[in-house]
Amino acid sequence: MADSTHTPDSIVSTIELWLKNRISDAKASGGIVGLSGGIDSALVSILLHRAFDSNMLAVMMPCHSQQQDLVDAMILVQQFGLPHITIDLSDTYDIFLKNFHDSEINVTRLATANLKPRLRMMTLYLLAQSKNYLVCGTSNKAELTVGYFTKHGDSGSDLLPIGDLRKEQVIETATYLNIPESIIHKAPSAGLWPGQTDEKEMGLTYRDIDSFLKLCPIPESVQIRIEEKIHISAHKRQMPPVCPIE
């Protein structure tokens, strides 16, 4: 259930005003977001469109991605009339990895998978700088808490509009804004490889993380796993530490 003090309409108005103030303070012209076909990026896209109308851009960046993700993204674009562009990064990804084929370095599956969000980050910043936009990330509070994001990938952004929303609040707000149910109810996935889902990779459910954030009772084993993830991912949420000399 939605918090009585943070209803979907109040969340929308708060984020819209915050976006306008932040982008105005930076003397920017609007905002840009990577649209994956999932609920988080869909919500950020709609919030940007509400705040800036045509001065926003939703960027679809397939990279050997599931076709359904692009279909879902296009459904959203067409329903809300979002300014958009598609940049297929599949060939760029292949060429980049080809450089390592003859090396003696064992490039792991996870490292190659995380290359995808890092290529997307570079693409967004190239477009953002060209249009004087700020890059808006799509991580929610649950993901930021446990470090479920790629460092210098999807974490590479100027603003995090939904970074203080639990997953349940993301769902409630998306429903309020009439985002298609096919997007709202699809299994959350970073699209790193076929069949990959957020919850399977984290070993935690969003419901468990949301309960932890609300200080609700959860099994001790789950709490230990969450606290461990918070601890080992601390470096992702901080600027690189400087070794003090004096």
Mean pLDDT of 24-48: 98
Can you give the pTM of this predicted structure?
Answer: 0.93
pLDDT at 2 exceeding the cut of 50: no
Residue 59 φ then ψ, to 5°: -115, 120
- Summarised one tens digit per residue, pLDDT across range 53-102 is 999 999 999 999 999 999 999 999 999 999 999 999 999 999 999 988 87
- Summarised one tens digit per residue, pLDDT across range 159-196 is 999 999 999 999 999 999 999 999 999 887 766 767 77
pLDDT at 19 exceeding the cut of 90: yes
Residue 3's pLDDT is 61
Residue 189's pLDDT is 76
pLDDT at 236 exceeding the cut of 90: yes
Please say whether the beta carbons of 33 and 58 come within 8 A. yes
Q: What is the 3-state secondary structure (H, E, C) of the chain?
A: CCECCECHHHHHHHHHHHHHHHHHHCCCCEEEEECCCCHHHHHHHHHHHHHHCCCEEEEECCCCCCHHHHHHHHHHHHHHCCCEEECCCHHHHHHHHHCCCCCCCCCCHHHHHHHHHHHHHHHHHHHHHHHCEEEECCCCHHHHHHCCCCCCCCCCCCECCCCCCCHHHHHHHHHHCCCCHHHHCCCCCCCCCCCCCHHHHHCCCHHHHHHHHCCCCCCHHHHHHHHHHHHHCHHHHCCCCCCCCC
Domains along the chain with CATH numbers: 8-237 (3.40.50.620)
